[in-house]
Structure 1
Amino acid sequence: MNSLIIETLSMGTLEVNDEQVYHFSKGIPGFEEETDFALIPLNDSPFWVLQSIKVQGLSFVLADPFAFYPSYEFELPDDEAEELGIDSEVLVRCIVTLKEQVEASTINLLAPIVMNPGGQTGKQIVIHRTPYHTKHSLLQEQPVIDGKDGG
């Protein structure tokens, strides 16, 4: 197994192995020119960092949507599954927007990042005809009302 040294802004210099690198053939919306990202777990948490292997300042915080929304579900269109080469194993993560007050942090359930661990391909997919949106509260028990923390 080969490894790669990458530079990150938040975590410094990291060594990642080939199995952690996913190829996004179309990039991520807004960052189409960047196509290779390392998926880095954050120890003992339901979070990961998706770090560009070329651009030090380009990273996304991801979460396991099922850890926060156990009933989360969507149908992966056949053409998307085919493009990613998915036949059985699939990894679904969603982009998290972290706020200074953790209660205000949100998770994007409308456009999950879908990855094929076997083929190491990935894509952000926008789900159509769904009740999900881009800013679900990470902490359902403590909804943010009118931008105040309720305290």
Structure 2
Amino acid sequence: MKVNIETIAWGKIEITEEQLYKFEKGIPGFEEEKSFAWIQEEDSPFSYLQSIRESALSFLLVDPFLFYPEYAFEMPDQDVEELGDKEQLGVACIVTLHEQIEQSTINLLAPIVMNKATHQARQIVLQDHKYQTKHPLQFTQENQSTTDKGGQ
């Protein structure tokens, strides 16, 4: 099944059910927004999380392991229980872009965790003080070559 949604960035777009994710508790700061479409950019390591209800609300996401291969965290038991099978979970982090790309940041303190089978998702605020909301978005030689190859 396909659904048309209105966005500020791309106008009206068509999404599939496989792109829809439910955030039971919303996203911190946007608790009333529960349904989002995960939109993967072709030939890019970036994707978007677009609110289904609010056309002006979207988040730029990236695989944190492309920029911080050592990134690791423990999910609280309650989150693991609610999201389900760890084998089905994917992780993305919100990126804040700045006019000068070198000043852009990635939020490693609060990753977005999605269950690809159940389409349940949540933003988990970690209690680990080694991560921050504004880590530099560093392009290393390795992730630059991945980006140049379209993420392949």
In the superposition, the TM-score normalised over structure 1's length comes to 0.89
Describe how 1:114-125 pairs up with structure 2 within 5 A: 114-125=113-124
**Equivalents in 1 of 2:45, 2:62: separation in Å?**
6
Which protein is richer in helix relative to its size?
2
**Equivalents in 1 of 2:54, 2:80: separation in Å?**
28
How many correspondences in the alignment?
Answer: 140
State the Cα distance separating 1:43 from its structure 2 match: 1.3
Which residue of the partner structure matches residue 37 of structure 2?
A: 38
**Counterpart check, 1:12 vs 2:11:** yes
Instruction: Kindly provide the amino acid, as one letter, of the partner of residue 33 in structure 2.
Output: E
Matched residues, percent identical?
55
Describe how 1:2-151 pairs up with structure 2 within 5 A: 2-139=1-138
Instruction: Kindly provide the amino acid, as one letter, of the partner of residue 125 in structure 2.
Output: V
**Equivalents in 2 of 1:8, 1:99: separation in Å?**
21
Task: Give unmatched runs, 5+ long, in structure 2.
Answer: 141-152
Task: Give unmatched runs, 5+ long, in structure 1.
Answer: 142-151
Instruction: Kindly provide the amino acid, as one letter, of the partner of residue 38 in structure 1.
Output: A
**Equivalents in 1 of 2:86, 2:136: separation in Å?**
32
8 Å CA contact 2:107–2:135 kept in 1: the answer is yes
The CA RMSD over aligned residues, in Å, is 1.2
Instruction: Kindly provide the amino acid, as one letter, of the partner of residue 13 in structure 1.
Output: K
State the Cα distance separating 1:140 from its structure 2 match: 5.8
8 Å CA contact 2:109–2:128 kept in 1: the answer is no
Q: Quick one: higher RCO (CA 8 Å, sep 6+), 1 or 2?
A: 2
State the Cα distance separating 1:137 from its structure 2 match: 0.5
Instruction: Kindly provide the amino acid, as one letter, of the partner of residue 52 in structure 1.
Output: S
